[in-house]
Structure 1
Amino acid sequence: MDLTAFAVFAAHLNFTRAAEELHISQPALHVKIRKLSESLGRPLYRREGRRLVLTADGEAVARFARGQDERLASFLAEFAGAPAQRPVVLAAGQGAYLYLLGDAIRTALASTPLRLINCDHRQMLAAVRGGQAHVGVSVLDVLPPDLSVRELASFPQMLFVPSGHRLARRRSIRLRDLDGESLVVPPQHRPQRVMLEQALRTAGAAWTVAVEAEGWPLITHFVALGAGLAVVNGCVPVPRGLAGIPVKDLPPVTYHVVHQPSAISDPRVVSLLSLLG
């Protein structure tokens, strides 16, 4: 069925992997998606550089297809007299999983099948919009108008420094205090890196890159090794041997929970949302 094929394609956004999962050839999958697009009169995906992305119509079709698949699975399970085992799907990033969502996930797993997707905020929004995930958690600079959004938790941004550093005994700092320092930072073009570079430029602080690292655990590890200082989200625990100092002229980091407005009709999703607080 073309809808089922499109749901699999939307999950991968890759014709090779989707065709392998469906056990059909790539040309056959191209034909199915082209026919579905022609029957609807709308393009369902587009190419951005080397990536394929769903259009807004494609996200709507993928969401409908996955919802139809869930409803069919629930009906067949109920018809057979067995409880439905379709999992609730949560999409979030590494930081949220490590420092924010552990208790809620542990509690949810005790009573509900739960599948976890590890992704960045753009992938999370695409997963929720396309129906690949029921609930998403991330830091969002712009709140999506098409999804239900609520604040989950807010944290100050902190400077991590070795305990013997000149700034370690300060109760708070400003970005100009980092003039001349070497910093451990995320790779270029990551949202936190872009924000930090702009803020340091505005503050007139000259700095150098000590190390580029992906993820708070590795960034923190490099600070503990003495490679440089780092600005991190306040949800990250301060390791032994380091000091965590609030950065006064950076805005707090706010995590949000997002879901489709219709998701609250599913008791499993409502239960997960209640556990998230």
Structure 2
Amino acid sequence: MELVADDLQAFAVFARHRNFTRAAEELHVSQPALHTRIRKLEHRLDTSLYVKQGRLLHLTDAGERLAAFANDSRDRAAEFLGTLDALPPRPLVLIAGSGTYLYLLGDPIRRFVAKGRELRLRTGDAGATLAAVREGTADIGVTALGVPPDDLECELLAQYPQTLITRAGHRLAERRTVRLKDLQDEALVVPPKDRPHRQQLERSMLDQGIRWSVAVEAEGWELLVHFVRLGIGPAVVNGSVRTTAAVRKIPIKDLPPVRYYVITRPDRTERVSELRGMLG
């Protein structure tokens, strides 16, 4: 049997006053509306909750027990809510990719934690980041996106050119900029085929009819840079990726920049405002 909490509490007020007029005034409803709610309660319970004797109203045994139940439920709810108020606020949850943590978010996270704020970190690619923010399992996300979704708050954090990285002795090492056609017949160090960066690079190469091959697949920017440093082959990376003096970075003119966004749900804006301000 379904008992509506508001109806129970309305009956508890009526039971205390034993008077429709005074109970309705306390509840800020009309007397007929209160009378209807209690009649519906009686109908649901299939029993009378009060009787009229002369000008006075008296609770039946069922009415006494329902009033006690309603008061007990109210007290338990208040006690439970009080325990919630006493709990410390849960840490903010931030989700981002490994490269984003390595090259973009180190200083903001350090400043946020230094202020005594709690922060829980998760890793995930762009798809996982968007899903976690939408589902509410993460409060804020940072990831690279081509087109930001309409249902989330997306604020541009940074953008970087896509760059070719190679060892100093490579034929393109002294160039100030390159185009994709300059990579004709190159064997490249690339991410695995299921990674968005690899897929976007393959589409761009195919659109321009450029032949190329895979020197080695590497998971994560650091391993990719390591293979370039070893002389396995050049690679195309986000301009945010850090390298060493042994590696040259050359912007690629005909690839779009990589744009990183801070992503939140509209209903979490106030909760994440401090961290979002630090990220920006």
Write the distance in 2 (CA, Å) between the matches of 1:106 and 1:77.
29
Gaps of at least 5 residues in structure 1 are 1-71
Kindly report which structure 2 residues correspond to 1:208-219, keeping only aligned pairs within 5 A, or say none.
Answer: 208-219=213-224
Spell out, residue by residue over 1:42-71, the C-alpha distance to the aligned partner (whole angstroms, 9 max, x if none): xxxxxxxxxxxxxxxxxxxxxxxxxxxxxx
**Counterpart position of 1:140:** 145
Spell out, residue by residue over 1:137-156, the C-alpha distance to the aligned partner (whole angstroms, 9 max, x if none): 00112311111111000000
**Counterpart position of 1:67:** none
**Counterpart position of 1:207:** 212
Instruction: Give the C-alpha shift of residue 238 in structure 1.
Output: 2.4
Structure 1 position 107 matched with structure 2 position 114: no
Write the distance in 1 (CA, Å) between the matches of 2:236 and 2:221.
10
Instruction: Give the C-alpha shift of residue 135 in structure 1.
Output: 0.3
**Counterpart position of 1:94:** 98
Instruction: Give the C-alpha shift of residue 73 in structure 1.
Output: 10
**2:275 maps to which of 265, 272, 276:** 272
Write the distance in 2 (CA, Å) between the matches of 1:175 and 1:74.
61
**1:179 maps to which of 157, 164, 184:** 184
Instruction: Give the C-alpha shift of residue 74 in structure 1.
Output: 9.3
Instruction: Give the C-alpha shift of residue 204 in structure 1.
Output: 2.4
Structure 1 position 76 matched with structure 2 position 83: yes
Does the 8 A contact of 1:85 with 1:113 survive in 2? no
Letter in 2 for 1:136: G
Q: 1:75 to 1:196 in 2, by over 3 A?
A: farther
Structure 1 position 119 matched with structure 2 position 140: no
Letter in 2 for 1:274: G
Task: For residue 265 of structure 1, give the secondary structure of its aligned residue in structure 2.
Answer: coil
Does the 8 A contact of 1:128 with 1:260 survive in 2? yes
Does the 8 A contact of 1:135 with 1:258 survive in 2? yes
| CA RMSD across the alignment | 1.7
Q: 1:74 to 1:213 in 2, by over 3 A?
A: farther
Q: 1:270 to 1:176 in 2, by over 3 A?
A: same
Task: For residue 219 of structure 2, give the secondary structure of its aligned residue in structure 1.
Answer: coil
Calculate percent identity across the aligned residue pairs: 50
**Counterpart position of 1:8:** none
Does the 8 A contact of 1:87 with 1:115 survive in 2? yes
**Counterpart position of 1:152:** 157
**Counterpart position of 1:63:** none
**1:192 maps to which of 194, 197, 212:** 197
Equivalent residue pairs, number: 201
Q: 1:73 to 1:244 in 2, by over 3 A?
A: farther
Write the distance in 2 (CA, Å) between the matches of 1:220 and 1:265.
39
Q: What TM-score, normalized by structure 2, do the two folds share?
A: 0.69
**Counterpart position of 2:58:** none
Write the distance in 1 (CA, Å) between the matches of 2:206 and 2:267.
43
Write the distance in 1 (CA, Å) between the matches of 2:260 and 2:132.
17
Q: 1:253 to 1:134 in 2, by over 3 A?
A: same
